[in-house]
Structure 1
């Protein structure tokens, strides 16, 4: 059935993080980031920052349930989207950097799940009414990213050096990437919203395949990017629990 309120989303993420600490699982990396973003959205709802706060909570919950359902299915050995399979399979690999884990999770959730959730919450012509609140989340993410950049810098020393040396450029690049992903998600939402639910599946399948390609490219980069990832990973801790706790700070 899934969760129904945003506070239940946060509780579910707390459980995933606790399970990840117990199991020493890298699944906790993305879960920590996702919890911080969800808390920021919840606090913005409580401050009445959105045009329709009730609708925003429904969107957040629909969005979260796609991740929670995917993780539950994966753990249960059931069918899961290609995008999330790439992200979850990657968690068993010690080679990728923390940033790679976060980016692959973000790719699956933003490029696949967000557009689907938005179209479900605002079908048909209602999708246009959602745009203002959808874009306001960009501002919330922007406010959060400064702290997240610093947190990731503590977990990943070479990323921390980059943040200090080229802080503005690094922050702009990160935020630009997320904004582009959210804009792609919005276009997907507009396309899906115009379709009847029964006609959406072929489009979602195509979205999933494209997103999985992005995830694989992040998880297994080639050439100079691969060497850079190895260089960054060399100074990161291999202690999964320690990394999760540092990300929580």
Structure 2
């Protein structure tokens, strides 16, 4: 791996997320995801500060490239530009009264893990002049931080038992999505995109298909429930 000469900091992306947290209505679906992502990024920075990431600059590069893709989707939405297919459902259903906060959070995580993470790995490899295998440990650390928070997110945002019974279709829908499986798929997609780096047309075709597929899953996660 090429030696990095510039320190990479999570502070700029954290500042953007904090600013969004102050601007968005708390019940806005994008605000729900933004709060989750802000917490994840803070936790990752704390882990790096504690020395839990031996290659801190490598981990920071991956985390920043990752966060930049979400922030680019926000910028596109606010500028009136077309948002990636994976993010489109969240922005379309961000104020729907029949979509619960947990659905918004998981739809955002689905878009970010299912599509953005693979492209962030490739961007990180280009920045660091390395192959994906050299980022795998840091990929796992970033993913482990997300997985550690997933249960907490579900507990905090899941409606009470009076709203979501075991047989409720929404309970089944949200229980069918797995961050672990999404992370594994993202790693496979990143490796394939890296293999196709000298075949830009094929890489773009695969990335477009991945984007649309993740968007379809996001649309399913945001299926409105009856307003009670």
Pairwise TM-score range, normalised by the shorter structure: 0.7 to 0.9
Deviation at 1:162, TM superposition (A): 7.6
Residue by residue over 1:8-29, the C-alpha shift from the partner in whole angstroms, topping out at 9 and shown as x without a partner, is 111111111111138x633210
Change (3 A) 1:150 1:217: closer
Change (3 A) 1:157 1:132: same
- 1:139 equivalent among 121, 126, 144: 144
Change (3 A) 1:195 1:136: same
1:178 match: 179
Residue by residue over 1:203-235, the C-alpha shift from the partner in whole angstroms, topping out at 9 and shown as x without a partner, is 110111111111111122xxxxx7xx43xx63x
Q: How many residues align?
A: 210
Are 2:182 and 1:202 aligned? no
The 8 Å contact of residues 125 and 132 in structure 2, kept in 1 or not, is answered as yes
Higher share of residues assigned helix = 1
The 8 Å contact of residues 152 and 160 in structure 1, kept in 2 or not, is answered as no
Deviation at 1:189, TM superposition (A): 0.7
1:21 match: 25
**Under a length normalisation based on structure 1, what TM-score does the superposition of the two structures give?**
0.75
The 8 Å contact of residues 120 and 193 in structure 1, kept in 2 or not, is answered as no
Change (3 A) 1:203 1:47: same
Change (3 A) 1:143 1:112: closer
1:23-38 → structure 2 map (5 Å cutoff):
25-38=28-41
Residue by residue over 1:56-98, the C-alpha shift from the partner in whole angstroms, topping out at 9 and shown as x without a partner, is 1111111111110111111111122111111111103111111
Deviation at 1:161, TM superposition (A): 8.1
Change (3 A) 1:216 1:142: closer
Cα distance in 1 for partners of 2:148, 2:130 equals: 30
Are 2:194 and 1:190 aligned? no
The 8 Å contact of residues 20 and 26 in structure 1, kept in 2 or not, is answered as no
Unaligned segments of structure 1, at least 5 residues: 164-169, 221-225, 235-249
Query: Equivalent residue of 1:92, what SS?
Result: coil
Cα distance in 1 for partners of 2:138, 2:53 equals: 6
Deviation at 1:138, TM superposition (A): 3.5
Change (3 A) 1:159 1:144: farther
Query: Equivalent residue of 2:24, what SS?
Result: helix
Deviation at 1:49, TM superposition (A): 1.4
Unaligned segments of structure 2, at least 5 residues: 1-7, 167-171
Change (3 A) 1:159 1:79: farther
1:127 match: 132
